Amino acid sequence: MTENGIGAAVRRKEDHRFITGQGQYTDDINRPNQLYAHIIRSPLPHARIRGIELKAALDMPGVVAVLTGKDMVDDGIGGLPCGWGVNNKDGSPMTEPGHPPLAADTVRYVGDQVAVVLADKRSIARDAAELVDIDYEELPAAASLSAASAEAAPAVWEEAPDNVCFDWEIGDAAATDEAFASAAHVSSIDIVNSRLIPNAIEPRVAIGEYDSGRDEYTLYTTSQNPHVIRMLMGAFVLSIPEHKLRIIAPDVGGGFGSKICHYAEEAIVTWASKRVNRPVKWTADRSESFMSDAHGRDHISHAELALSKDGDFLGLRVRTKANLGAYLSTFGPAVPTYLYATLLAGTYKTPAIYCEVKGMFTHSVPVDSYRGAGRPEACYLLERLVDRAARETGIDPLEIRRRNFIPRDGFPYQTPVLLEYDSGDYHACLDKCLELADYKGFEKRRAESAERGKLRGVGLSTYIEACGIAPSNVAGALGARAGLYESGTIRVNPTGSVTVLTGSHSHGQGHETTFAQLVTEALGVDFDNVDVVHGDTGKIPFGMGTYGSRSLAVGGMALMAALEKIKTKSRKIAAHLLEASEDDVEFVDGQLRVAGTDRTVSFGDVALAAYVPHNYPLDVLEPGLDETAFYDPKNWTFPAGCHICEVEIDPDTGVVEIDRFTAADDFGRIINPMIVEGQVHGGLTQGIGQALYEQCVYDDSGQLLTGSYMDYCMPKADNLPNFEVTTNTTLCTHNVLGVKGCGEAGTIGSTPAVINAVVDALSELGVNDVPIPATPERVWDAIRTAAHNRAVSA
Amino acid sequence: MYEFQYHRPASIDEAKKILADNDEAIILAGGMTMLPTMKLRLARPSDLVDLSAIDSLRGIRKDGKTIEIGAMTPHADVAGSSVVQSEIPALADLAGMIGDAQVRNRGTIGGSLSNSDPAADYPAAVLGLNAVIKTDTREIAADDFFKDLFETALGPNEIIQAVRFPKPKRAAYAKFPNPASRYAVVGVMIAETTDGIRAAVTGAGPCAFRATEIEAALAKDFSATALDGLTFDAGDLNDDLHASPEYRAHLVIVMAKRAVAAASV
Ligand SMILES: Cc1cc2nc3c(=O)[nH]c(=O)nc-3n(C[C@H](O)[C@H](O)[C@H](O)COP(=O)(O)OP(=O)(O)OC[C@H]3O[C@@H](n4cnc5c(N)ncnc54)[C@H](O)[C@@H]3O)c2cc1C
């Protein structure tokens, strides 16, 4: 290991600018002569727009224009596209209604965009917006899954009268039924996976700028994937060819999936900037973020597990309804299908699995990826069900898992639900986690808590996840409407410093550091002489962006491939300079050496020769040292691990306190352990947030009740214990570094560990389930109900 | 926000004049409620009358057996005051439980009481400790001050100048914070005063109120066990996302017991 190479806990390069307030976020950008946009949003969950009266607003000094959905229709603007098509059981395609950036005749959720006011000042735009008189004909609405699937529920779309977007299945139904027929025991569970609002610390911002001289557009936006936005917005919405459209996503303050989607506001400001021939800037306020950023999760499921008399899992059957919101967001349909049900095998060798998923339209914000995207839903369901099976059969929760784990020598392992796991050691992760958590000491701690009148419980989850959707042709066959490769460029500058261009995007993950470590390790170039550039379609050849923990496993591998090309070319140049055969030249610590001799040339001198090719094999080699590679992964990667949570519950109030939380994760090879630990901490916090605090609530009329931090409860620092985290590595077998990914694992494994602990603490009182989030009142209510039931049955 | 005029008068008289001259003028104290309300465009004052330059409104004075706190004194000053900590520790504790450090450095006792948020903490202190609210025109007993949801006995443009707290024999405050906002879902101040036992509840109803059944039980026996088996009627209690009336009723008793236990040590 070199000082700043692979495996070193190097401090993050980017933190200097972030900590000193010099980050450049989209809202920090201001363009000369820009206008401010205020989006007028529907206050109603469902209504027909009978008319819009603009005059009073247009008369206000400082107002330049007020544009509506009708203006968009007149300009031939297209709808926001959906990036993943899912088929019904009978092979027919899902119902795919349009998604106009500004609603022209009907609004379908509170927050739906209706019109945009453009003014010289933000405050004027807002004042004028109140003068726009919109005549709504209110219609009945159904914002929740239960409301939308009720009989005679109001339909979100005429073309889906029962609100079903798709009715999809995976797995072998007949084989699963057979497994259940032969089962000694069947455990079942009803799960509500609560709806979440991602809450990136930076609200969304978009600035559109049109250059009439060149007929070119630039969009500055808070995106995790600028090239994807260019493709979607250019090709489907605004009909702008790629060479005329530049997307810049500079420093981005957190995304968690919510900044993958192509949003209406991006199209609105870009389109409007040409209409008024001035730059147009829109910045969401926090209230807008709550009602317009794509939401996450929101499933209702029923699951059954068939077991043999010894506790072997024989079959798993799952029925899920997933809320898609009012419109199909960019990857909305993929999340509750291919990113969810394919993970239902978990870490277990269950031979037969069948899952059916109904994707439902509701009068609510579109639902899309949120950290983990589908995998937390699968893991939560499975790990709650496995714990319940353990309780019902009287088998220890550790034993039932160990018994059913895919064995160490069982890889590659083909699951019954599409995926083929390449590597893992679930026993080792479990053992390491138990050790670190002092699992053996639990009973003693439980007794100590009891002395203080508190109920202590321990819960675990042994999760799996899948990162870096791949390969592109397989994803395409499953409905992806894009490739899932990544590009990377290694640009060695004449004096030997390196500029890295990556199609991945960093919005908190620390790519500028991790990727620089790869370069330092490969070329021996000083860490400070490597800079990573991302987030600009005008600079980066191409990119699919960052989500699904893919940056290192896909983007990093593109860089590794480009580095390999650089090394090959460098050896050729060095061979010429050293008058040796190319085959004899080796790369050692930033030097190129003729093997077995002390004849060397430095990498810096090779770079200089490439750009000042006076002594250079010009007849056989191009000058320059700048290589690009595209990498399409052969398979997904499969991080896995074990999380153990210990809670203490105050039975008088129902308050759950997390006393200990331990994680042992297998992320494959680790490039920067400090960054990985940070990713785990953040992930755990979000998973704990879902377990105990966060919940998006719509009332029966379709109004969003949790529209601010007064009501939407984020996990706070004082809610969390000091996390104990460690790793246990098995290498990924199909990429050159053996890396897997670590961005989402914390979120995936932690929620069930917390709830299993809560249920464990309350089990002696007769409680066998507590919904998420396990708020104090819900826990108190579970205790009270169990006491009541005991009294009745006594 | 809508546009408004900003004033920072140096005296109460000047403040009163601006308020009298402008129908839609509003007092600004710490702004912790006022400013978010304006940002959300739920309030549209023509003029804001910032009291922060009126020095006489800020500070903590001990006067015999009472502590007088100026209306513009921020929560952090009360929480950190050695006088309050030694004379009425329950009051310092309560102030230290309000919001977060930023809120405690900006928010004031006068603003909190005038606003009478159903989930605010100070109303429980004022009512439980039998304080007197001094305005520019009169003195209002705590029992007469809180009227309803965001409604107090204050007249239009009446300015709170100070709050006078008599020193109790013993007192303690127990709070069950809302996990999201950290306001009180239920907060109970229990005090043994020269006039008897007082139990004031905030968070549970439309405004702070006294729980007479708790007071009666504690008058007989000032101990947590005296409240065993006592149930609180959920009938008129608040119902929202964070807690049902039944849960609030339950918490009233639990918090009362904790306050009694804390006051007894
Ligand atoms: C994030 C957050 C968390 C909070 N948590 C808590 C909590 O846990 N517990 C709690 O009790 N409170 C809490 N608060 C409220 C806060 O502590 C303040 O007490 C409250 O916002 C009002 O005080 P202020 O000084 O900021 O008043 P302002 O917001 O300036 O004014 C509030 C109202 O009172 C009027 N007013 C102000 N001063 C006077 C006066 N002297 N005479 C007459 N009228 C006056 C104003 O006109 C206005 O109508 C929280 C606030 C925030 C923002």
Give per-residue pLDDT as tens, A642-690.
999 999 999 999 999 999 999 999 999 999 999 999 999 999 999 999 9
Separation CA A73–CA A96 (nearest Å): 19
Identify whether A471 is preceded by a cis peptide bond (ω within 30 of 0): yes
Separation CA A179–CA A188 (nearest Å): 15
- Closest C-alpha to ligand 1, atom 47: B27
Task: Using CB atoms within 10 Å of the CB of residue B103, give its burial: 0 to 12 exposed, 13 to 18 middle, 19+ buried.
Answer: middle
Residues A57 and A155 grouped into a single domain: no
Q: Distance, CA B116 to ligand 1 centroid (Å)?
A: 8
* pLDDT beyond 60 at A732: yes
Give how far the C-alpha of residue A380 lies from the chain's centroid of Cα atoms, to the nearest Å: 16
User: Which DSSP symbol is given to A39?
Assistant: E
Q: Do B1 and A123 touch (CB under 8 A)?
A: yes
Which strands, in side-by-side order, build the sheet including A352-361?
A164-171, A352-361, A313-325, A296-307, A185-196
**CATH number of the domain bearing residue A319:** 3.30.365.10
Shortest alpha-carbon distance between residue A706 and chain B (Å): 9
Residues A309 and A178 grouped into a single domain: yes
Instruction: Please report residues of A whose CB lies closer than 8 A to that of B241.
Output: 697, 705-706, 711
Task: Using CB atoms within 10 Å of the CB of residue A674, give its burial: 0 to 12 exposed, 13 to 18 middle, 19+ buried.
Answer: middle
Q: Distance, CA B32 to ligand 1 centroid (Å)?
A: 5
Per-residue model confidence (pLDDT) at position A273: 98
Q: Would you say B237 and B205 are in contact if contact means Cβ atoms under 8 Å apart?
A: yes
Per-residue model confidence (pLDDT) at position A646: 98
**CATH number of the domain bearing residue A132:** 3.90.1170.50
- What 3-state class would DSSP assign to B45? coil
Residues A161 and A265 grouped into a single domain: no
Nearest-by-Cβ selection for B244 from A123, A697, A777: A777
Phi then psi for A293, rounded to 5 degrees?
Answer: -70, 140
In single-letter form, the type of residue at position A729 comes to T
Structural domain includes residue A213: yes
* pLDDT beyond 70 at A1: no
Per-residue model confidence (pLDDT) at position A516: 98
Among candidate residues A572, A600, A631, the one where a domain is terminated: A631
- Residue A146 pLDDT class (50, 70, 90 cuts): very high
Separation CA A578–CA A599 (nearest Å): 7
Q: Distance, CA A46 to ligand 1 centroid (Å)?
A: 36
Q: Are strands A530-533 and A498-502 parallel, antiparallel or unpaired?
A: parallel
Q: Do A652 and B254 touch (CB under 8 A)?
A: yes
Architecture (CATH level 2) of domain B1-53: 2-Layer Sandwich (3.30)
- Residue B264 pLDDT class (50, 70, 90 cuts): confident
For ligand 1, mutation pick of B19, B27, B145, B186 (most atoms within 8 Å of CB):
B27
Residues A117 and A213 grouped into a single domain: yes
Ligand 1 atom nearest residue B104's Cα: 17
Copy the structure tokens of residue B59: 């500070």
A661 touches chain B (CB under 8 A): no
Number of domains in chain A: 4
Q: Does pTM surpass 0.95?
A: yes
Dump strand ranges (E) for A402-540: 413-414, 420-421, 455-464, 486-492, 498-502, 530-533
A181 touches chain B (CB under 8 A): no
Structural domain includes residue A665: yes
- Buried/exposed code over A367-378 (b: 16+ C-beta within 10 A; e: otherwise): bbbbbbbbbbbb
Q: Distance, CA B206 to ligand 1 centroid (Å)?
A: 17
Copy the structure tokens of residue A361: 């339209």
Please calculate the CA angle B75-B78-B79 and round it to the nearest 5 degrees: 85
- pLDDT tens track for B128-184: 999 999 999 999 999 999 999 999 999 999 999 999 999 999 999 999 999 999 999
- Residue A793 pLDDT class (50, 70, 90 cuts): confident
Q: Which residues line ligand 1 (CB under 6 A)?
A: B 26-34, 51, 71, 75, 98-99, 103, 106-108, 110-112, 114-115, 120-122, 159-160, 181-183
Residues A268 and A242 grouped into a single domain: yes
Closest CA to A665 of A716, A726, A622, A736: A726
The overall average pLDDT reported for chain A is: 97
Structural domain includes residue A414: no
Shortest alpha-carbon distance between residue A774 and chain B (Å): 12
**Helix ranges restricted to H, A646-775:** 673-688, 745-763
The domain limits of chain B are: 1-53, 170-263
Nearest-by-Cβ selection for B247 from A705, A711, A777: A777
Instruction: Please report residues of B whose CB lies closer than 8 A to that of A718.
Output: none
Copy the structure tokens of residue B179: 């996990």
Per-residue model confidence (pLDDT) at position A794: 77
- For the segment A274-284, the average pLDDT, to the nearest whole number, is 98
* pLDDT beyond 70 at A267: yes
Residues A365 and A393 grouped into a single domain: yes
Closest CA to A133 of A40, A272, A44: A40
Residues A240 and A305 grouped into a single domain: no
Sign of the torsion formed by the C-alpha atoms of A773, A774, A780 and A783: positive
Residues A385 and A494 grouped into a single domain: no
- For the segment A210-218, the average pLDDT, to the nearest whole number, is 98
Which strands, in side-by-side order, build the sheet including B170-177?
B170-177, B184-193, B196-202, B209-210
Separation CA A282–CA A298 (nearest Å): 29
How many C-alpha atoms does A318 have within 13 Å on its Cβ side? 35
- Residue A589 pLDDT class (50, 70, 90 cuts): confident
Structural domain includes residue A474: no
- For the segment A614-628, the average pLDDT, to the nearest whole number, is 97
Separation CA B265–CA B262 (nearest Å): 6
Architecture (CATH level 2) of domain B170-263: 2-Layer Sandwich (3.30)
Residues A145 and A131 grouped into a single domain: no
Separation CA A376–CA A387 (nearest Å): 16
Mutate to test the interface with B, among A709, A720, A777, A784 (most CBs of B within 10 A): A777
- Residue A129 pLDDT class (50, 70, 90 cuts): very high
* pLDDT beyond 80 at A166: yes
- For the segment A398-403, the average pLDDT, to the nearest whole number, is 98
Shortest alpha-carbon distance between residue A764 and chain B (Å): 22
Mutate to test the interface with B, among A60, A700, A775 (most CBs of B within 10 A): A775
Instruction: Please report residues of A whose CB lies closer than 8 A to that of B3.
Output: 123
Shortest alpha-carbon distance between residue B137 and chain A (Å): 35
Residues A604 and A692 grouped into a single domain: no
Residues A95 and A160 grouped into a single domain: no
Percent pLDDT > 70 in chain A is 100
* pLDDT beyond 80 at B263: yes
Ligand 1 atom nearest residue B159's Cα: 42
Shortest alpha-carbon distance between residue B41 and chain A (Å): 10
- Residue A740 pLDDT class (50, 70, 90 cuts): very high
Nearest-by-Cβ selection for A711 from B1, B3, B180: B180
- pLDDT tens track for B59-116: 999 999 999 999 999 999 999 999 999 999 999 999 999 999 999 999 999 999 999 9
**Helix ranges restricted to H, B46-121:** 75-80, 82-87, 89-96, 101-106, 109-115
- Residue B265 pLDDT class (50, 70, 90 cuts): confident
Q: Which residue matches tokens 């509701």?
A: A362
Q: What are residue A627's DSSP bridge partners? A: A490
Q: Do A781 and B251 touch (CB under 8 A)?
A: no
| Residues 6 or more apart whose Cβ sits within 8 Å of residue A87 | A93, A94, A166, A168, A479
- Buried/exposed code over A190-212 (b: 16+ C-beta within 10 A; e: otherwise): ebebbbbbbbbebbbbbbbbbee
DSSP string, A268-296: HHHHHHHHHTS-EEEE--HHHHHHHSPBE
- For the segment A70-94, the average pLDDT, to the nearest whole number, is 97
Q: Would you say B188 and B199 are in contact if contact means Cβ atoms under 8 Å apart?
A: yes
Separation CA A173–CA A354 (nearest Å): 5
Q: Which domain holds residue A159?
A: 141-194+295-408
Residues A516 and A598 grouped into a single domain: yes
A711 touches chain B (CB under 8 A): yes
Residues A398-402: contacts with CB within 8 Å, 24+ apart?
A398/A430, A398/A434, A398/A460, A399/A311, A400/A311, A401/A347, A401/A348, A401/A426, A401/A430, A401/A460, A401/A462, A402/A427, A402/A430
Q: Which residue matches tokens 């939380």?
A: A661
A698 touches chain B (CB under 8 A): no
